[in-house]
Structure formats: structure tokens, C-alpha cells
């Protein structure tokens, strides 16, 4: 049986929630648990707006439960700590990302890979250890186990750092794991949205040669001038793709609409790695027969797959690596390019997000614009 937060949690909280698959958000009063001995309480100051929030509020993944308070790119100020908390004190700046719990006993958790724990607890639309629903950062306060809270260095502006707790670690983790963080390597970044622009920033800070791969020629100037990418490739231009064939050590694909991976694989050198960091909106199109049979029409694909090229994936990162990412961002002054919005603009922002009308991330000013109705 799903437990009621009101009957288990005594602390009043306020936020904005979706009540149904329309995804429309409106004011919502609810409850948080009291601060336990290992918990950290945050006054939420900023929270990023992610496509995942939109997918969940609209039940596009088929697992939504309502009412739902979204938000998993959360930064704020510590207001209370439990008796056994050692890493935070009142007044510290801290953040909460995509997860607020895991089993803490499996092999993945032991390897600091809580993001791959089969009992990982998401920041919202998930079930906490006590069976109650988790509510996210479109709210005034969070109470989270210290293990799942990240320290935010003082030099990072909070609005710009909030999205790093999702898109930052999503870009950083595969660069590290797949060995694509070595200076001088050539990295392709597919898509120049919220995730793509952060991937470019991290890659450049690591000393990589970066090519932005996009279907939109209009993004060339932003890629080269603003983000300092080394080159720009229009993926629909056969001449450009042919001239770049076999030139890249790795590719990070941040675009959800790509089904045919063959053109991307063709851009890789031998032993190159194509890493998927977003979930495609439709099944990938890689016919098995083309991988097995050589012939006039598929010899080129067979040649590509025989060069030890790899297609892999990555899902956010563990808590240790997330803190490492934030510290790296602090060292290199990396933040997301954001448009800060008031809480009551969120439904308009969602409409703009669907159209790709943001450069590059909406961040809600929770601290100054979330006003309780009671």
C-alpha cells in the first residue's frame, strides 16, 4: 500500500505540482519528514528545469504518480543537520541531483555507483525507504540523507551550477569512464542543447579537440564563438560527414531523435567510442543482418564494426563522482548558460522547452519567487 506523506511526515512544505498527465503545474501544500540523524535540510534557492521533469509530469514514460512535485537540479542553503552529519553545517551551500537514496549494500553501491543500484531512489516520483512518495525541488525545502547531498564551492553561482547536478554529471561521467578525458583526443558532441553545451565545456576544460555535430547550421556561431568548439559539422551535409569520417576518438550523443547510428559510427577512428547519454524517443535502427553479412550494400558497415568501435551508454554518475564533477567545474569556472525564471512562469517555460526555445537551461528562482498560498 502507498503510504500517505501527511501521516508519516510532520514538516509542512510548499511547492508546485502536476495533478495529471496534462503536466500543468500549480501550487501544492505537502509534507516532508523531520531531519533524521543522517539528514540534511536545505532551503531551496534554485532548481533547474529538465526535459525529464516534463516527461514525468506528462506521464510520457508511463510510470507517473500524482500529485507530482518535479525538480532534480536543486541548490540551496543548509538550514539543519542531523546529529551524525559530518560534511555539512548550517549555512553551507549544497545541492541535490537525480537521486536521494539507494540500498547502500549492493555491489554497485559499494563501488560508488549508486546510480546503477537496482533500488536507487529518484528525487521525485519514486518511493522512499518508508514507502512515501518523493517530492522534488520545485519546493521550498528538501530533507535528504547526507550521502546524497553535494557540497557547492563558494565560487560557483548557484543558478548556473544547479543544472550541473543533472546535465553536468551526465556529460562528465562518460568522458571519464570511457577514457575520453585525455588532452589531445578528438571528441564529437552531437546536439547543442542543455546537455550538449555542458559536454563541450567539460571537454574543452579537459584539453580535448571538440567538434559539435548538429542538424542546425544556425548553431555554428554559438558553438565556435561562444563555446570555443574547434569545429562544427552539419550532420545532414554529406560532404562534411565524408570529410570527417574516421577522425574522432569518441562521440557523446546528447540528441534524443537520432535512430540511425551508422553515420556517427562512421565518424569514429578504430577503437573509437560512441556513447549514448540520452534515451532515444524510438528504437535504434541497427539491422542485425548488416552487422553479420558482407555485400555490396553493407560492406562499409561491416568494415566499420570490424574496427573495434564501441557503442555504449552512461546514466548520470555516483555521488563520489558527482562531487568530483562539481569540484572540477569549480576549478575551471564551468556553469550552465541559464535563463532564470520565476516559479509562476514554469508552465510557459515547459511550452518553450518542448520547442527548444531556451539557451540553454531554464532555472527557477525558488528562493525569491515561490510564494506560499497559505
The whole-number pLDDT of residue 158 equals 98
Residues of the chain with pLDDT under 50: 1-3, 287-299, 301, 304, 374
Residue 237, phi then psi, degrees to nearest 5: -100, 105
Place of cell 514554469: 346
pLDDT at 306: 57
Task: Looking at the structure, tell me whether residues 154 and 27 fall in a common domain.
Answer: yes
Q: pTM here?
A: 0.93
pLDDT value of residue 46? 98
Name the residue range of residue 38's domain.
5-166+336-365
Q: Are residues 111 and 70 in the same domain?
A: yes
The per-residue pLDDT for 293 is 42
Structural domain includes residue 320: no
Looking at the structure, do residues 361 and 305 belong to the same domain, yes or no? no
- Check whether residue 138 and residue 74 sit in a common domain: yes
Question: Cβ contacts of residue 351 below 8 Å, gap of 6+?
Answer: none
| Residue 216 belongs to some domain of the structure | yes
Same domain flag for 50 and 132: yes
* Position 12 in a domain: yes
CATH number reported for the structural domain that contains residue 273 in this entry: 3.40.50.720
pLDDT at 339: 98
370 domain-assigned: no
Residues 129 and 205 in one domain: no
pLDDT of residue 310: 86
Same domain for 131 and 23: yes
- Cα gap 186→243, rounded to integer Å: 15
- At 279 the pLDDT is 76
Which runs of E-coded beta strand occur in 33-104? 39-49, 74-81, 93-96, 99-101
In a shared domain, residues 17 and 154: yes
Amino acid at each position: 500500500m502507498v503510504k500517505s506523506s501527511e501521516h508519516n511526515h510532520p514538516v509542512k512544505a510548499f511547492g508546485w505540482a502536476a495533478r495529471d498527465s496534462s503536466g500543468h503545474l500549480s501550487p501544492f501544500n505537502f509534507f516532508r519528514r523531520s531531519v533524521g540523524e543522517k539528514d540534511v535540510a536545505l532551503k531551496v534557492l534554485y532548481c533547474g528545469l529538465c526535459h525529464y521533469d516534463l516527461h514525468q509530469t506528462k506521464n510520457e514514460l508511463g510510470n507517473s504518480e500524482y500529485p507530482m512535485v518535479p525538480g532534480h537540479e536543486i541548490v540551496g542553503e543548509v538550514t539543519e543537520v542531523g546529529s551524525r552529519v559530518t560534511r555539512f553545517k548550517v549555512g553551507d551551500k549544497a545541492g541535490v541531483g537525480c537521486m536521494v537514496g539507494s540500498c547502500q549494500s549492493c555491489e554497485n553501491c559499494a563501488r560508488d555507483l549508486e546510480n546503477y543500484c537496482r533500488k536507487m531512489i529518484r528525487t521525485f516520483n519514486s518511493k522512499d525507504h518508508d514507502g512515501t512518495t518523493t517530492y522534488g525541488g520545485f519546493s521550498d525545502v528538501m530533507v535528504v540523507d547526507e550521502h546524497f547531498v553535494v557540497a557547492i564551492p563558494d565560487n560557483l553561482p548557484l543558478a548556473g551550477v544547479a543544472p550541473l547536478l543533472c546535465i553536468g554529471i551526465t556529460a562528465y561521467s562518460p568522458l571519464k569512464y570511457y577514457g575520453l578525458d585525455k588532452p589531445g583526443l578528438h571528441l564529437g558532441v552531437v546536439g547543442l542543447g542543455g546537455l550538449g553545451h555542458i559536454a563541450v565545456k567539460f571537454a574543452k576544460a579537459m584539453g580535448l579537440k571538440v567538434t559539435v555535430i548538429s542538424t542546425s547550421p544556425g548553431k555554428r556561431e554559438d558553438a565556435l564563438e561562444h563555446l570555443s568548439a574547434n569545429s562544427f559539422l552539419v550532420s545532414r551535409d554529406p560532404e562534411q560527414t565524408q570529410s570527417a569520417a574516421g577522425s574522432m576518438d569518441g562521440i557523446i550523443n546528447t540528441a534524443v531523435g537520432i535512430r540511425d547510428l551508422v553515420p556517427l559510427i562512421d565518424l569514429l577512428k578504430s577503437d573509437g567510442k560512441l556513447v549514448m547519454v540520452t534515451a532515444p524517443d524510438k528504437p535504434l535502427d541497427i539491422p542485425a543482418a548488416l552487422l553479420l553479412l558482407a555485400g555490396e550494400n553493407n560492406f562499409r558497415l561491416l568494415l566499420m564494426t570490424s574496427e573495434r568501435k564501441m557503442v555504449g551508454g552512461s546514466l548520470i554518475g555516483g555521488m563520489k563522482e558527482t562531487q568530483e564533477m562539481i569540484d572540477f567545474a569549480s576549478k575551471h569556472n564551468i556553469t550552465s548558460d541559464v535563463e532564470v525564471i520565476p516559479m509562476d512562469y514554469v508552465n510557459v517555460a515547459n511550452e518553450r522547452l518542448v520547442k527548444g526555445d531556451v539557451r540553454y537551461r531554464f532555472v527557477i528562482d525558488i528562493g525569491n519567487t515561490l510564494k506560499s498560498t497559505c
